[in-house]
Amino acid sequence: MADSDAQPVVYEVRLTVTPAVEADFDDWLAAHVGRMLAFDGFYDARIIRPEATPDGRQRRIVRYHLRDRGVLDDYLEHHAADMRAEGVERFGEALEAERDVYPALPEDHSGNRCPNCGTPAPGQFCPACGQEQKDIHRSFWRLMHDFLGDTFTFDSRLVRSLRPLVARPGFLTREYLDGRRARYIPPLRVYLFISFVFFAVFKLALGSVDVSGGVVLDLGKQAGPPIDLSTGIPIPREPEGRAPGKQAPSPTSRPETEFGKRIKEKSERLKANPRLFLDRLLGNAPVAVFLLMPFYALVLRLLYPLAGYVYLEHLIFALHMHAFTFLMLLVAWPLFYWVPRYVPSAELNWFAWVLGTYMLVYPWIAMRRVYRQGIAMTTFKYLMQAFIYFALLLTTLVLELLATAYWF
């Protein structure tokens, strides 16, 4: 094999489809690209969405990164016909395709190769598999710095991402969908970082809340029998001479069931350990909200069936929406928990109205910017998604409460 044939290549496929099949085509294309990446030597793929053609046909460009020319030759000889037939059979004349091949990088004379896949890698990252070319034989503190940087990305991208997340609704999602991603923190990482800080602060703030179970009132010596406050029925006094704590057997009493025993046991444990129950409830909250987001993304997918986005792109929008909400609550919680003793209530109420209004309007602006529909249609879908989302949120919180109580 010639040296040029051993270099990584890009296999580019340019596609156009009619608007009528765009949504169905995007769903098919995402699955098709996944099957392409299953072939040996296909390391990466990028789907690009250029503007439509003058006659209204929608354009997609897929760029596959291959290890070398031999991988492409093997694909063209053994697999290309079957893979192309899938699209032709499904979309027919509605689909047109052109293909091209070009080198991914100039020939590497440095002698540096990626230790992961062996591809020439003169730069910081491998052009084939994407692995960063850095030495791991460093001090512990340097490794910890890299770990925190990889996990939370504490660099200039943090400010560059948080600023538009707050001030420009939908901007981050739009940038990500348009392919401008390197300058911002990935959506999942933004959400994980903000939600981690929010729930940590929220749990810390609730640490001083008294959940001991109420106020004890000393009413002195009662003139009559004690009264059950929940029903208003007098509780019969124990006859004199009976040992305290023992009850007379009732001829109509039934044996307690296992379910009743379990409920009684859980109730007694909850009354004895309210703080532990609250801690577990808060500990399960991040998982509950995280599991809610896929359902919210599904709601968006159903509301925008012709938007041209696959499910994962709706999930990116959901991640940014939840990250914004947690960030605003993270700002509001200290203000309304600690500041009232220093700031007049009138000014604080004014700020609360402004913040609450912005949090309600923010999703509408974001939907308008990302999905690019008219005011009336955006308003209708905003109200629909809000109603469905809060129903899902309430269901999730109830299930979390029941699950926490059951396993408490």
pLDDT digit string (tens) for 258-310? 666 666 776 777 777 777 777 777 777 888 888 888 999 999 999 998 878 88
pLDDT for 113 equals: 56
pLDDT for 365 equals: 95
Question: Can you read off the two tokens belonging to residue 389?
Answer: 């989302």
Instruction: Answer with the residue of higher pLDDT: 224 or 16.
Output: 16
Model confidence band, residue 235 (pLDDT cutoffs 50, 70, 90): low
pLDDT for 360 equals: 93
Does residue 10 register a pLDDT over 70? Answer: yes
Phi, psi of 212 (to 5 degrees): -75, -15
Phi, psi of 257 (to 5 degrees): -80, 170
Is the entire prediction scored with pTM above 0.85?
no
pLDDT for 363 equals: 95
pLDDT per residue as tens digits for the range 308-367: 888 988 999 999 999 999 999 888 776 666 665 555 566 667 778 888 899 999 999 999
**Cross-strand partners of 47:** 62
pLDDT per residue as tens digits for the range 73-113: 999 999 999 899 888 888 999 999 999 998 875 443 344 55
Query: 């192309």: which residue's tokens?
Result: 84
Q: H/E/C letters for each residue in the chain?
A: CCCHHHCCEEEEEEEEECHHHHHHHHHHHHHHHHHHCCCCCEEEEEEECCCCCCCCCEEEEEEEEECCHHHHHHHHHHCHHHHHHHHHHHHHHHEEEEEEEEECCCCCCCCCECCCCCCECCCCECCCCCCECCCCCCCHHHHHHHHHHHHHCCCHHHHHHHHHHHHCCCHHHHHHHCCCCCCCCCHHHHHHHHHHHHHHHHHHHHHHCCCCCCCCCCCCCCCCCCECCCCCCECCCCCCCCCCCCCCCCCCCCCCCHHHHHHHHHHHHHHHCHHHHHHHHHHHHHHHHHHHHHHHHHHHHHHCCCCCCCHHHHHHHHHHHHHHHHHHHHHHHHHHHHHHHCCCHHHHHHHHHHHHHHHHHHHHHHHHHHHCCCHHHHHHHHHHHHHHHHHHHHHHHHHHHHHHHHCC
Domains of the chain and any CATH numbers:
8-103 (3.30.70.100), 166-207+275-406 (no CATH)
**CA neighbor of 332 nearest in space, from 311, 362, 309, 352:** 352
Model confidence band, residue 247 (pLDDT cutoffs 50, 70, 90): low
Instruction: Answer with the residue of higher pLDDT: 249 or 333.
Output: 333
Mean pLDDT score across all residues of the chain: 76
Between CA 52 and CA 30 the distance in angstroms is 19
